[in-house]
Amino acid sequence: MTDVQLTTPLGSERRRRDWRSPLAVLALVICTLVVYGRVCGHEFAGWDDQLTIHHNPRYSPPTGAKIAQTWKESVNGLYAPVTYSYWGALAFMAELKDVDPLGVHLDARVFHTGSLILHLASVLVVFSILKLLSENVWASLGGAMLYSLHPVQVESVAWASGAKDLLCGLLSLCAIYQYLLFARAEVAGRRRWSHYVCGGLALLLAMLSKPSAMVVPVLVATLDLLVVRRGWRKVATASGGWALLVLPLAVVARLVQTVYAVAPVAWWRRPAVAADSVIFYVGKLVWPVALSADYARRPAVALQVWGGLWPVLAVLIAAGLGVWIWRRRAARPWVAAGAVIFVAALGPVLGLTPFMFQYTSTVADHYLYLAMFGPAMLATWALVRFRGRAVAGGCAVAFALLGVRSYGQLSHWHDDSAVWVHSMEVCPGSFVAPTNLAACLGREANVFRHGAEDAREAGRMEEAEWMLGRARENYARAADLLDKGLAINPDFMAARHNAFMYNFRLGRNQQAVEHLEALLAVNEQLPAVVRTDFTSYRETAGILWMKLGQYEKAAAQFERVVAAVPENTAARDGLREARSKSAEARLESGEIGKP
């Protein structure tokens, strides 16, 4: 049996087979909507959604001027103006007349519906690319079905903030499709530069959606060399032009990304982190269970697996597979191209260079969105090479199982709490999961607390007491969860801040001030340019230490406040009182006056 070959069928044969393509497209649309359709009724998942969408001041309310500002500056360490403009456009349609108790004024259903449409469009572009390359409709359908239904795609589709991956993936795939039309036209003796230009425009928009699209020139060069099989000089010229196009934006992306919180990894150990990530992803492709919003696979964790032996094995396994695939690239070009595309698409987030998400984990399902085009190619190749009813039946069963698995995985993305309850179950090493689940409980507690205040003002004392009891119960549960997260990562500032707040509201002044002191200490360790001004919190720490009778500690905090804000009379008074009470305490204990 020969490998998949690029062919140009006769016009009569193409017309005779035209009915198959619409049927395949219909199957893709139906299956994608059946599996993912219920996401349109989900709530926001919280995992960045508060920061990027529903509490983003640019969309409260959305205005053209606010959205235009995203083209002039980076947001949260990411320059992605196309994505923020997309969210802004949806925000205009998603505005609610009434704000819910948690302060959300945007309808999550609009954003989830938009994500589903983006995913469906990507699936259809993948099908078009595979059909263009293989000239086999049914094999291309299988490849596109894998791309659509694999459970690792659920995170990108079900997470509203994952739209940046969907947009980047869709536009990158459009760029690849246009490039292949250009390359194939030249093989046939025609020059169609319009495809090259349109592809370049799509690539530019992909880069402005998420900078990871910088890998597209590598992807098209791989396809051009191994599958289309043009000469390397032509490939270098065409793909090199696109590389020059994305280079300035890639530099900007690197400059604006903040990685100060990521523990540094020696350059010679980074290939081990990358190899571990690739093998981890392959494992999830083959056996997609225990999927989680956070895998807690930080570089330090990966490098200590099996006492440090696993990183060495991971490098050897990855290198061995790479050599084996490369040596068979001539006989199995589709296999080689699929493998290279899978790894290259993950290149920016494998850990060879630090990126900010590594503070939580090097690996995440949403990083696989574009990379899944590689496995889709492998599936298409396998379906062309191994034909028969048994193979078709096996594929149908496999896709059905993947669809059922993805459908079930969607339930873990229904709302904020569902995401983190599931993540804690499957990834006990995550410090993010308990912290974010605690934040959910804290927000509910705040609603009860404000409700109790309103009930008390209205004279409904019994109702107020009940609401206060519920609030205290939630704060206590949240504080316990934060202790779990801080046991894993004591320097996680979000957890420290919330632990201080919840213990303070519970009246646990000792625990509250200890968390506050730890928060202030971590903040001091940060670079000056990203350090938060916690002067008011220092004043709060001084007040709490006063209540606990720790006057010297209180005086130390008030001194810092007065040094930073000399006109703060309350801090001056607090400092004076702390020093006075400290002197009295020392006098009573006999420390003052001793020879």
In DSSP notation, 256-275 reads H---TTSPP--GGGHHHHHH
For residue 289 the two structure tokens come to: 């269970």
For 531, the token pair is: 């350090």
**pLDDT score for 13:** 43
Phi-psi region of 135 (alpha: psi -120 to 50; beta: other; left: phi over 0): left
Tokens 């709060």 locate to: 540
Model confidence, pTM = 0.92
Residue matched to tokens 């499957």: 426
The DSSP 8-state label assigned to residue 95 in this structure reads: B
Q: What is residue 150's predicted lDDT score, i.e. its pLDDT?
A: 98
pLDDT of residue 188: 59
Q: Are 49 and 158 in contact (CB under 8 A)?
A: no
Average confidence (pLDDT) per 10 residues, the chain, 595 residues: 47 57 96 97 88 89 89 87 96 88 89 98 98 94 98 97 97 98 76 90 97 97 95 94 95 84 90 96 96 96 92 93 89 94 96 93 97 97 89 92 97 95 95 96 93 92 94 96 96 96 96 97 88 93 95 94 93 93 80 51
pLDDT score for 392: 86
Cα separations in angstroms, 71 against 64, 66, 67, 130, 206:
11, 10, 8, 34, 14
What's the token pair of residue 33?
A: 């909507």
Render pLDDT for 48-63 as a digit per residue (tens, 0 to 9).
898 899 888 889 888 8
Tokens of 386: 């191994």
Alpha-carbon span 229 to 3, nearest angstrom = 13
Angle between helices 373-385 and 137-149 (to 10 degrees): 140
CA distance 592 to 595: 9
| 8 Å CB contact between 124 and 143 | no
At which residue do the structure tokens 């440090």 appear?
A: 308
* Token pair listed for 63: 């205005």
Q: Which residues contact 80 (CB under 8 A, 6 or more apart)?
A: 70, 164, 208, 209, 210, 211
The total of other beta-carbon atoms located within 10 Å of residue 529's CB is 7
Q: Which two tokens stand for residue 297?
A: 């696979």
Residue 595's pLDDT is what?
43
Q: What is the pLDDT of residue 591?
A: 61
pLDDT at 1: 39
Task: For residue range 326-335, list pLDDT tens digits in order.
Answer: 888 888 999 9
Residues with Cβ within 8 Å of 325's Cβ and at least 6 positions away in sequence, in order, are 332, 335, 336, 339
pLDDT at 153: 98
Q: Which residues pair with 106 in a beta bridge?
A: 95
User: What is residue 62's predicted lDDT score, i.e. its pLDDT?
Assistant: 87
Give the per-residue pLDDT at 546. 95
